[in-house]
Amino acid sequence: MLLTIDIGNTNITLGVFKEDEIIHFWRLSTDITRTEDEYGIFIKNLLRDKQIENEIKASVISSVVVQLTEKIESAVKKYIGIDSLIISHKIKTNVTIKSDNPSQVGADRIANACAASKLYNSPLIVVDFGTATSFDIVNQDNEFMGGIITAGMKIQAEALSSKTSKLPKLNIEIPKSVIGKNTIDAMLSGIVWGHATMIDGLITECEKELGQKAVIIATGGYSSVICNYLKRKFDYINPYLTLIGEKIIYELNR
């Protein structure tokens, strides 16, 4: 079995693959203050609870949190007894990275591009709803061209409440209408409808630069919230896309 770990700014997601099927999935809060031992014990207990502690033969990690990459790699080695492949632009992938500075491309974005390229037709656009909302673009020649990074919905909500004196904190929910009849609904409308309108517009502009229609794939926690507000619907929603990409990259580098 393969353990896949995606370390994001807000959450750490873990998946276990048995051959080509993801059989277990967990989401943890990212906390840079946790020690190597805390992470190791936590991961070991998750696997033990599923009675697969001794079935894990390898691990692969994508990370955008530098402070945690080595810590979790060491935790997996110490408590699970296996080495981890760390995803970067330097290792073998099934796409050609054509951005100006490949070293700056996040490991999660590389994994997204690899998974989408394997599963779907090119050209394609992956929209990943994480702490940031990112667009990963793969052209018809299977080249990762780069993309777009913008503030995610959670960041927008936190910024509104922290940078203003009267606007409250809120959880991201489905807005009742475009025109908010109260402060909460007005904020939700701005965040959700505004985000959807932005995504529609950016997809249109990306397709202009590609010179053709693209396959649109969504992943990340808020993809199911946004999908109902788009004029251009997602072709696919795949919540495991990043972890699938990690598995593909692991297999290419065995």
125 lies in a domain?
yes
Assess if residue 94 is contained within a domain.
Answer: no
Provide the pLDDT confidence category of residue 88 given band limits of 50, 70 and 90: very high
- Cα–chain center distance at 167: 29
- Both tokens of 149, joined, read 């990074």
Residues 26, 49 contacting (CB under 8 angstroms): no
Average pLDDT over residues 83-96: 94
Q: What residues form DSSP beta bridges with 61?
A: 5, 86
Mean pLDDT in residue range 36-48: 96
Q: What pLDDT sits at residue 125?
A: 97
Q: Are residues 82 and 110 in the same domain?
A: no
Helix residue ranges per DSSP H, 80-214:
107-119, 153-162, 183-188, 194-210
Q: Which residues are catalytic?
A: 108
3-state secondary structure of 82: coil
Higher pLDDT, 168 or 94: 94
Provide the pLDDT for residue 162. Answer: 79
Domain coverage including residue 43: 2-86
Stronger pLDDT, 188 or 85, i.e. the higher one: 85
Q: How far apart, in whole angstroms, are the C-alpha atoms of residue 223 and residue 234?
A: 9
Average pLDDT, the chain: 92
Q: How far is CA 49 from the centre of its chain?
A: 25
Give the pLDDT of residue 149.
94
- Indicate whether 240 and 134 sit together in one domain: yes
Contact 46, 13 (CB under 8 A): no
181 class by beta-carbon count within 10 Å (0-12 exposed, 13-18 middle, 19+ buried) = exposed
Is the model's pLDDT at 95 over the cut of 70?
yes
Q: Report pLDDT for 166.
A: 67
Give the pTM: 0.91
Q: Among 58, 86, 114, where does a domain finish?
A: 86
Please report whether residue 95 resides in a domain.
Answer: no
Weakest-pLDDT range from 72-76, 163-167, 193-197: 163-167
126 sits in which H/E element: strand 124-129
**Count of the separate structural domains present in the chain:** 2
36 shares a domain with 153: no
pLDDT for 173 beyond 80: no
